[in-house]
Amino acid sequence: MSNEELTARVDGVFRKVFKNEGISVHRETTAKDIAGWDSITHLDIISGMEEEFGVEITGFEVMNMNDVGDLYDLLTQKLEA
Amino acid sequence: MLITILVVRFTAAQWRWMPLLLASFFFYSLTGIEAFVLLLGSILFTYYNAQKIAESVNMTKRYRWLLVSVCGQILILGVFKYLGFFNGLMQGVNALLHRGPWNDWELLILPLGISFYTFQSMGYVFDVYYKIRKPEMHLGKYALFVSFFPQIQSGPIGRSKEMMPQWSNIATPHFEDYRWAIQLFVWGLLKKFVVADRLGNYVDEVYAGAGSMGTWVWLFALALYTVQLYADFSAYSDMAIASAKMLGIRLPENFDFPYKAANITDFWRRWHLSLSGWLRDYIYTPLLFSKKKWKKWAVVYAIGITFVICGIWHGANMTFVWFGVVQAAILIFELFTKEWRARQSERFGKVYHGLSVLVTFWVISFCFILFRAEDMQQVMVVLKDLMHTDFVSFSNYIAEKNASRILGVLALVVLFLGLNERWDLRLRQTKWNSRQSIWAVSGMLVLLVIMGVFGKNDFIYFQF
C-alpha cells in the first residue's frame, strides 16, 4: 500500500470518528491538535483503524503511540508483516 | 534549603545530583529512620525490577517482572498505609457473620509521602515495561528521582520521561529563575495562610458542630471547603514547583483552574493533574484497551476501576472509597449524556456554560463531604443536617459569627476566585521587570502579614 493511500484511509477514519469531513491529519498531529480527541474517541479511532485495515492493535502498542506518525508506522509495519 | 540552593548553584552541572540526593536523604531521614529505610528499600526494589524488565526479551517474562514490582509495591502500601482500614473491614465482616471480635493487626508507622513516591516509582516501572524509556542505570540518579525533597511529601507526582533527563544535566538557575520562583513561592504562602487556613477555620467549626447545623450553614461550609482545598493544595504545589526551580529542576504543573470546569470530566482534567494523568496513562488506558471490543462498556469498566483506585489512593477510609465510586458514577452519567449535553451547549451557548460551571462547582462541593468527613457516620450526619432547610440555624450562625465577618469571608472567596487566574498567569508568564517583581512580592508579603492565619494546620494533602 502506498503512503498516499495509507494517509487517505487514516484520514477517512478520523473524519468518520469526528464526523467532520474537513479533518486531515499528518505525522505530527497529536490529541492536543483536534478538539474533542479524548480517550473515548481514541478508542473509536483505534477500533476504526482495526476495521479499516483488518489488523489488531494491542493496548501495549497504544501506550507507545505519541502522535499520528507512530500510528502510520505501526499500520505500515502490521500491513507488511 | 538555602544551603542546598547555594551548594547546587556552585556545583558543576553533571555533579549537581549529588548534593540534591544528599539533601533529599537528609530531609527524609528527619521523618524517622524506619521510614527512611523503607524508602531505600522501595528505591532498590523498583530499580532492580526495572532492570529485570528491560533485560527480558520475552514478553511473558517482562510481564512477570512487572507483576512482581507492582504487587510488591501494593503490598508495601497495604502494610504501611491500609492495615487500619483492613482491620476495620474485618471487624465489620466478623460482626456481619456473628463471629468473635477481630484481633487487630498491629499498625506500623505511616511513612511520609508513601502514596506519592510509590506512584512515582511505579510509573517509572510502567514506562520501562511499555518501552517508553530505558531503565536508569545510575542508582544515585534513580534514587534522586524517587526521593527529590520538594516533591516527595505531596507531589506533584513526576514522570520519568520528564524528570530523568533533568538529573544528568541540571540547569543552572539564573536570576530570572530565582525571581520567578520567589514570586510563585510567596503566592503559595498567600494562598495557604490568607485563603486556605482562614476558610479552614469556618469549615472546621461547622464540621465540629455536625448534627446541629441546617442546610444554609452547610452550603456555606461546603463551598468554603472546596475553595479551601484548592487554595491549600495548589499552594503546596506552587511552593514545591518554586523550590525545585531554585534548584534547577522543572516540576509538572498540578492545577488548571478547576473551578472553571463545566462538568466533572472537565474537572478531572484540571484538578491534581499529576495524579489524574498518572491514573489515565497507567490504569485507565490499559484497562480501556484491554476490553476495547466492549466499546462504550469498556469505558464504563475502565472508569469504574480507575476511580475506585483514585479514591482508595487518597486514604485508608471508606469515605475515600465512596468518593471514588461517586466520581465514577458521575463520569459514567456524563459519558452517556455527552451528545445530549453537546446539543444543549450549542442551543443555549454561554448561559448553558455558565450554569454548567455553577452546577459542577456544587456537585464537587457535595462530593468533597466524603473528602472532609472523618467517617461515613459523619457523612450521614451532614446529609441529615442538609435536609433541615429552616433559616433559624443559619440566622443563629450569622448572629454568633457576626454578619460582617461572614460577608468578609464571602468577599475573600469572591475576590480569590475572581482574581486568581489573572494573577496566577501574570506570576507564571512574567514579563515584569525587577522593580515590578519587587512590588508584587512586597505587596503579597504585606497581605500575608496583615491577613495571614498562622500556626493552624499542615497542608491537607500531607495526610495522603
pLDDT in tens, A26-38: 999 998 899 888 8
Mean pLDDT of B302-321: 92
B116-130, B181-195, B254-268, B425-439 — which is least confidently predicted?
B425-439
Residue B293 DSSP one-character state:
G
> In terms of DSSP H, where are the helices of B30-82?
33-55, 59-81
Contact between B289 and A47 using a beta-carbon 8 Å cutoff: no
Look at A39 and B288 and tell me if their CB atoms are within 8 Å.
Answer: yes
Name the minimum distance, in Å, from the CA of B130 to any CA of chain A. 6
Interface test with A, best of B284, B292, B303 (most A CBs within 10 A): B292
Residue-range domain boundaries for chain B? 2-172, 176-463
Q: Is the model's pLDDT at B184 over the cut of 90?
A: yes
Q: Does B354 touch chain A (CB under 8 A)?
A: no
B132 touches chain A (CB under 8 A): yes
pLDDT in tens, B66-93: 999 999 999 998 888 877 777 777 777 7
Q: Which residues of B touch A47 (CB under 8 A)?
A: 292, 295
* Distances in whole angstroms, Cα of residue B96 to Cα of each of B89, B271, B317, B320, B380: 11, 38, 19, 22, 21
- Measured CA to CA, the distance from residue B180 to residue B430 in angstroms comes to 7
- Asked whether residue B96 carries a pLDDT value surpassing 80, the answer given is no
Q: What is the pLDDT at residue B400? A: 82
SS3 of residue B158 by DSSP: coil
* DSSP per-residue codes, B399-426: HHH-HHHHHHHHHHHHHHHHHHHHHHHH
**What confidence score (pLDDT) does residue B432 get?**
83
What mean pLDDT is predicted for residues B228-252?
95
Which residue of chain B is at minimal alpha-carbon distance from A58? B289
Please report the pLDDT score of residue B74 as a whole number: 93
- Angle between helix B318-336 and B296-314 (nearest 10): 150
Is pLDDT of B43 > 80?
yes
CB contact under 8 A, B286 and A59: yes
B284 neighbourhood in chain A, CB within 8 Å: 39
Its CATH class, for the domain covering A3-80, is: mainly alpha
Instruction: List all residues 6 or more positions away from B185 whose beta carbon is below 8 Å from its beta carbon.
Output: B238, B239, B242, B243
pLDDT at B462: 65
Q: Nearest C-alpha of chain A: how many angstroms from B129?
A: 9
Place of cell 462498556: B297
Q: B437 and B183 in contact (C-beta within 8 Å)?
A: yes
Q: What ranges in B315-402 are assigned the alpha helix state H?
A: 318-336, 338-367, 369-372, 376-386, 392-401
Pairwise CB contact (< 8 Å): B131 & A62: no
With cut-offs at 50, 70 and 90, classify the pLDDT of residue B8.
confident
Do A43 and B131 lie within an 8 Å CB cutoff? no
